[in-house]
Amino acid sequence: MTILDTLVQVKQKELKDYPENVEVVAREKPRNFLKHLNEAPGISLIAEVKRASPSKGDINTEMNPLEQAQKYVDGGADAISVLTESEYFKGDIEDMKAISKSFDVPVLNKDFIIDKRQIARAYNFGADIILLIVTILNDEELSTLYDYAKSLDLNVIVEVHNDKEIERALKISPEIIGINNRDLKTFTVDISNTENLIDKYKKDGIHFIAESGIHDSNDARRMVDKGASAMLVGESLMKASNIKEKIKELKEGVTVES
Ligand SMILES: O=C(O)c1ccccc1NCC(=O)[C@H](O)[C@H](O)COP(=O)(O)O
């Protein structure tokens, strides 16, 4: 059994406590990250609030999520990802709610979504973007969840790791594909995964987001050179002593001393 199987089991267990239907509440229209990607010059940065992870254990459990998000916004992050899974990432959906209320940038609910009710909940807590991980969904589930999220005007990052998954993702004509450089079953991280998959599948009308394992200007430059529209960065921002400088390094390729 892989960690991903375990994470899905945790979600299945949580869903037993959900009502049969999660009604969506009235709220402001979600902020449009796709529009930002269509218009922004250069590479965009999704900065992640990530206390811990299955692969790294505790990363930064002392941080205050609102203060962390403030530093991301001040540094020029284009969106904020909040890991809300609690058992292995020590996340909390209340963090996302508070961040969504406090800042203007789009907010990604990073979790393991297998059911429509989680999307309704994400929407109700202020998410603007959700993530669907292809490998934990069958084709019908992927398509149904994608359409439901889009019907709520949420942006959807369809996350893949390999050729098989990207070919399944392409069947639903996604506007945003996240390429995870981390194999979520083995934890191996290799940023050439983004380079290889963009080389093979680059196509007008699709934004590619490079996810995981991006630590410095050299990594970021490789993602820019391949035409990634954005990168999703967690650990290196959570550990950075100067977040503003780290964001500058990643977005502008300016190396800074740590
Ligand atoms: O990060 C993990 O260990 C992990 C394990 C199992 C499933 C998902 C996992 N991470 C989710 C992510 O995709 C990352 O948080 C995100 O891409 C940022 O990665 P990084 O910059 O390497 O922290």
- Residue 258 domain-assigned? no
- Residue 197 domain-assigned? yes
- Residue 30 domain-assigned? no
- Residue 257 domain-assigned? no
How far apart, in whole angstroms, are the C-alpha atoms of residue 98 and residue 92? 10
The residue count of the chain comes to 258
Q: Find where tokens 């070919």 sit.
A: 167
Task: Work out the number of other CB atoms within 10 angstroms of the CB of residue 60.
Answer: 17
How far apart, in whole angstroms, are the C-alpha atoms of residue 237 and residue 45? 11
What's the domain range around 228? 3-20+40-252
Q: What is the DSSP letter of 76?
A: T
Find out whether the beta carbon of 87 lies less than 6 Å from any atom of ligand 1: no
- Please state the separation of Cα 48 from the chain's center in Å: 8
Residue 73 has pLDDT above 70, yes or no: yes
How far apart, in whole angstroms, are the C-alpha atoms of residue 83 and residue 112? 10
- Computed over every residue of the chain, the mean pLDDT equals 96
Q: How many domains does one find in the chain?
A: 1
Find out whether the beta carbon of 109 lies less than 6 Å from any atom of ligand 1: no
- Residue 127 domain-assigned? yes
Q: ipTM for the complex? A: 0.98
- Residue 29 domain-assigned? no
Amino acid sitting at position 108: L
Closest CA to 24 of 153, 158, 155, 174: 153
Q: Counting Cβ atoms within 10 Å, is residue 180 exposed (0-12), middle (13-18) or buried (19+)? A: buried
How far apart, in whole angstroms, are the C-alpha atoms of residue 220 and residue 216? 6
Nearest ligand 1 atom to alpha carbon 178: 17
Residue 257 has pLDDT above 70, yes or no: no
Q: Find where tokens 């550990």 sit.
A: 239
Find out whether the beta carbon of 99 lies less than 6 Å from any atom of ligand 1: no
pTM: 0.97
- Write the residue with the smallest CA distance to atom 13 of ligand 1: 212
- Residue 75 domain-assigned? yes
- Residue 68 domain-assigned? yes
Average pLDDT over residues 44-58: 97
Q: Which tens digit of pLDDT belongs to each residue from 227-256?
A: 999 999 999 999 999 999 999 999 988 655
Assign residue 51 the CATH number of its domain: 3.20.20.70
